[in-house]
Amino acid sequence: MAKEITPREASHRVARGAVLVDVREDHERELGMAQGAIGVPRAELEAAPHVYLPGQDADIVLICQSGGRSMLAADQLLRLGYQHVSSVRGGTAMWQAEGLPLTRPDVAVDEDFHERYSRHLRLPEIGARGQRRLEAASVVVVGAGGLGSPATFYLAAAGVGQLRLVDDDVVDRSNLQRQILHVDADTGVPKVESARTRLSALNPRVNVEAVRERLTSDNVERLIADADVVVDGGDNFPVRYLLNDACVHLRKPLVYGAVHRFEGQVSVFDAGRRRGEAPCYRCLFPEPPPPEAAPNCSEVGVLGVLPGVIGMLQATEALKLLLHLGEPLAGRLLHFDALGMRFRETRLPPDPDCPVCAPGVAFPGYIDYQAFCAGP
């Protein structure tokens, strides 16, 4: 195992000719690194140490943020035949605490970016590159209510650069039991304005666009055309079918969510980009249920925390799509039973006869969705 040394001892050894290597990622070193260090990310150093180190008999000192990564890297170098490798105990944090000098690269540093998103930046799967991708992304959330509230809170906190909220309703006191974007003083205020206030206060880096409009066939393409991901936070079937058809037509991934009493559903419909491979909403529901079979929350009620769970899952799927991470819920419908505290998954194949997303089918155009969902 490699030897640990104090920051001060490391400083003395560097003065006598030791090679000091900061093995943190590039974005971490932007905030400052031990004077005299060279910066090489741990993975790169372990993969090709001969590129950065003078020889296997050289005096090598490794440093990271708190000492963990540098110790792992030092042990690996020893296994590769390097004979004199040490790790700095406490890393750059202790180096700074002991008053030893730091240097910064000659570049402008966005300290708010590094501090605000530090936990994302430490995930190798995201890092600075992924976080910049989020800042450049645009997400449209239709509905600033029960599902839109948690979804937009987490998307804003995560740093999605452009959030467009579409809703024509105003805050009612009965909303507050589940629509956590709003507070009592917002009663009577347009939901998108209330939402913009909260989200901008949470993360001023995010551009929140409040659109107080009802989604229709006339405006849907204008509102989602520049979106990277669309999140369905609506509470009625006409909006769901309209969003689905528009997203298939414009090749946009749609993150679906729905709640009813004590149960919820989440899925990703990406048929526009993956025809014949991924389903759309019409593959799940070719025809809407009759109105009496699908009452809304105002008629039958809903457990207040349920939209929070489903909206959070929608935000998770949206972030995965933006970052190209993991396995999206495309082709899978996730069911949540709050009373039983159980999740179950249903496989959802594309419908080869779907009138909207089947391969080779031309876009049929928008219909009268209110009449379509009203039943015979």
pLDDT digits (tens, 9 = 90+) for 154-172: 999 999 999 999 999 999 9
Q: Which pLDDT score is estimated for 253? A: 98
User: Any residues with CB less than 8 A from the CB of 167 and at least 6 apart, and which?
Assistant: 142, 143, 144, 145, 148, 190, 191, 192, 195, 211, 212
| Residue 159 backbone class (left: φ over 0; alpha: ψ -120 to 50; beta: rest) | left
Rg of the Cα trace of the chain? Answer: 26
User: How much is the pLDDT for 293?
Assistant: 58
Q: How far apart are CA 159 and CA 179, in angstroms?
A: 21
- Which parts of the chain register pLDDT below 50? none
pLDDT given for residue 150 in this prediction: 97
Instruction: Please tell me the distance from the alpha carbon of residue 109 to that of residue 106, in angstroms, as a whole number.
Output: 9
Distances (CA, A) of 198 to 149, 154, 176, 203, 251: 10, 12, 14, 9, 31
The four Cα atoms 354, 360, 362, 367 give a dihedral, to 10 degrees, of: 0
| Cα(146)–Cα(264) distance, integer angstroms | 12
CA atoms 171, 175, 176, 178: torsion sign: negative
Cβ atoms of 77 and 37 closer than 8 Å: no
What DSSP letter does each residue of 238-293 carry, written as one string? HHHHHHHHHHHHHT--EEEEEEEBTEEEEEEE-TTTSTTTS--HHHH-SSPPPGGG
Nearest to 155 by CA among 244, 251, 263, 227: 227
* Cα–Cα distance for residue pair 355/186, rounded to 1 Å: 42
If we measure between CA atoms, which residue out of 372, 334, 371, 376 comes closest to residue 356?
372
Task: Return the pLDDT at 295.
Answer: 62
Can you identify the CATH homologous superfamily of domain 3-109? Rhodanese-like domain (3.40.250.10)
Domain ranges of the chain: 3-109, 127-374
Strand partners for 33: 103
Q: Which fold has domain 127-374?
A: Rossmann fold (3.40.50)
Cα separation, 94 vs 68, in Å, equals 13
Measured distance CA(64)–CA(94) in Å, rounded: 10
Q: What are the φ and ψ backbone dihedral angles of 110, each rounded to 5 degrees?
A: -90, 90
The pLDDT assigned to 124 comes to: 83
